[in-house]
């Protein structure tokens, strides 16, 4: 029996798993996958390390960012080590059973990332646009929703193993995914593809865009109301700029990474699959896998508290390397932090000459003990006490959103 299985795998490897694109393109794909793998490992590990350092003060919405990083890391560790050598060897090297597991992991972690982005956008919309309900969203609710995200993705990942749909080699031969040719002659496979497109692409895409549209409209209305009371220097608030950047980045990442693959898959499933060039699938697969390096960059650059923690950690690392002794780290860290706080307390004052409170200005940076000079200066420079209060109220959506 074992001999038969090995012979079957050998036959499959020689026939079905041969690459259908040029060797030069396979080498290019393997090289790009190698870069993606390294960048994804570095980016997601840094993001998880930052989250670990601020684990005691994580906000509910940040659970989804951590879960997104975990799913991206899972895709990196389960797919790239198999796809890279296969691309360089110009054929799939690991047999049919591994092909099935590879495809299941790709669907599981890919759909988990997409569903996680959808849940994150919904929670952010709830907290910013409907604060009465959003303020009730706790960490326990976030954990429960994270479990639901994994369960949702698991249904579609396990489906082909239970004969609802089918896994097979990709048309370009050096990787495995859903069999896009099966819907042309199997009703069960067709229903699986339809459900996959509706519930794992169209619905998440619509939810993300509607959520961020509501967020932008809400922030714009709040910003216009605040501009009637604040000085001209504070009209362009950090809240509006941050949410715009994050919204655009997430939407571009969603569309840029997954739309090419969705278009090619629908083309093959509902048209003549034999007319779809293998190069189209190979290019779409590269875009989809690039999402593992995109999301960590977005959140590390756009979230002030994550960025502040990362800056603190790299500063301490540089101090430790420079001084060459771990014992000098606490003293150096305390000295630099206290000196920075002292400088801030001397330089930042309200217009009536009295020093103002830092409570609202350092809310996001508090877990890392890092001040945020830009936000403090924007709120307090050339302002009266009444204007400071309004500015803080305008900055409240940012605290809830982040």
CATH number at residue 28: 1.20.1070.10
Look at residue 1 and tell me if it is in a domain: no
The DSSP output letter for 18 is: B
Nearest residue to 127 (alpha-carbon basis) of 209, 230, 212: 212
Axis-axis angle for helices 291-302, 62-89 (nearest 10): 150
Write out pLDDT tens, residues 321-377. Answer: 777 655 544 444 444 444 444 444 433 343 344 433 333 233 343 445 444 444 444
Look at residue 333 and tell me if it is in a domain: no
- The tokens of 386 are what? 């009444």
Look at residue 112 and tell me if it is in a domain: yes
Contacts 24+ apart (CB under 8 A), 157-165: 157/104, 157/105, 157/107, 157/108, 157/111, 158/104, 159/192, 160/103, 160/104, 160/107, 160/192, 161/100, 161/104, 163/188, 164/188, 164/191, 164/192, 165/189, 165/192, 165/193, 165/196
Look at residue 50 and tell me if it is in a domain: yes
Write out pLDDT tens, residues 158-197. Answer: 999 998 999 999 989 899 999 988 887 888 998 999 999 9
CB 281 within 8 A of CB 269: no
Tell me what pLDDT residue 111 has.
93
Distances (CA, A) of 298 to 35, 76, 365: 18, 18, 18
Tell me what pLDDT residue 135 has.
82
Largest CA distance in the chain: 88
Look at residue 314 and tell me if it is in a domain: no
Number of domain units in the chain: 1
pLDDT range class, residue 227, cuts 50, 70, 90? low
308: how many CB neighbours lie within 10 A of its CB?
A: 22
Does pTM top 0.85 for this prediction?
no
Look at residue 382 and tell me if it is in a domain: no
Cα–Cα distance for residue pair 120/303, rounded to 1 Å: 14
Strand partners, 177: 168
Q: Where are the alpha helices (DSSP H) in 90-161?
A: 95-129, 131-134, 139-158
User: Looking at per-residue confidence, does 205 or 76 come out higher?
Assistant: 76
Write out pLDDT tens, residues 65-86. Answer: 899 899 999 999 999 999 999 9
Look at residue 348 and tell me if it is in a domain: no
CA atoms within 13 A on the CB side of 11: 6
Tell me what pLDDT residue 239 has.
55
Contacts 24+ apart (CB under 8 A), 357-364: 360/392, 360/395, 363/399, 364/304, 364/305, 364/308, 364/398, 364/399, 364/402
User: Residue for token digits 């982005």?
Assistant: 117
- Which of the given ranges, 46-60, 64-78, 178-192, 269-283, has the highest pLDDT on average? 64-78
Cα–Cα distance for residue pair 206/61, rounded to 1 Å: 20
Residue 281 burial (C-beta neighbours within 10 Å; 0-12, 13-18, 19+): buried
Average pLDDT, the chain: 75
Cα–Cα distance for residue pair 148/144, rounded to 1 Å: 6
Tell me what pLDDT residue 38 has.
95
CB 312 within 8 A of CB 369: yes
Look at residue 346 and tell me if it is in a domain: no
CB 159 within 8 A of CB 165: yes
Domain of residue 154: give its range.
16-309
Comparing 60-74, 241-255, 264-278, 364-378, which segment has the lowest mean pLDDT? 364-378
134: how many CB neighbours lie within 10 A of its CB?
A: 18
């Amino acid at each position: 029996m074992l001999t038969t299985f090995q012979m079957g795998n050998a036959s499959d490897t020689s026939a079905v798993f041969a690459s259908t694109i040029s060797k030069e393109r396979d080498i290019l794909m393997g090289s790009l996958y190698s870069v993606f793998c390294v960048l994804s490992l570095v980016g997601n590990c840094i993001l998880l390390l930052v989250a670990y350092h601020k684990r005691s003060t994580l906000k509910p919405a940040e659970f989804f960012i951590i879960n997104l990083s975990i799913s991206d890391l899972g895709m990196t560790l389960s797919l790239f080590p198999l796809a890279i050598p296969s691309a360089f060897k110009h054929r799939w090297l690991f047999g049919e059973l591994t092909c099935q597991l590879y495809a299941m992991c790709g669907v599981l972690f890919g759909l988990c990332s997409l569903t996680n982005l959808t849940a994150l956008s919904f929670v952010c919309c709830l907290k910013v646009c409907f604060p009465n309900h959003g303020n009730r969203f706790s960490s326990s609710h976030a954990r429960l929703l994270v479990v639901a995200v994994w369960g949702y993705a698991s249904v579609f990942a396990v489906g082909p193993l239970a004969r609802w749909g089918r896994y097979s080699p990709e048309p370009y031969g050096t990787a495995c995914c859903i069999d896009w040719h099966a819907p042309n002659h199997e009703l069960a496979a067709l229903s699986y593809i339809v459900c996959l497109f509706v519930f794992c692409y169209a619905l998440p895409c619509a939810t993300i865009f509607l959520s961020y549209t509501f967020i932008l409209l809400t922030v714009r209305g709040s910003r216009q109301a605040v501009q009637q009371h604040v000085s001209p220097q504070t009209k362009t608030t950090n809240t509006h700029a941050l949410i715009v950047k994050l919204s655009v980045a997430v939407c571009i990442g969603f569309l840029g990474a997954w739309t090419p693959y969705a278009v090619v898959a629908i083309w093959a499933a509902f048209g003549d699959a034999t007319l779809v060039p293998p190069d189209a699938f190979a290019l779409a697969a590269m875009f989809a896998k690039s999402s593992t390096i995109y999301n960590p960059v977005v959140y590390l650059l756009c979230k002030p508290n994550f960025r502040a923690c990362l800056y603190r950690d790299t500063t301490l690392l540089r101090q430790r390397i420079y001084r060459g002794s771990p014992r000098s780290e606490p003293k150096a860290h305390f000295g630099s932090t206290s000196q920075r706080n002292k400088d801030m307390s001397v330089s930042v004052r309200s217009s009536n000459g009295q020093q103002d409170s830092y409570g609202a200005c350092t809310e996001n940076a508090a877990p890392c003990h890092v001040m945020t000079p830009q936000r403090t200066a924007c709120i307090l420079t050339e302002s009266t006490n009444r204007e400071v209060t309004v500015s803080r109220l305008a900055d409240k959506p940012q605290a809830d959103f982040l």
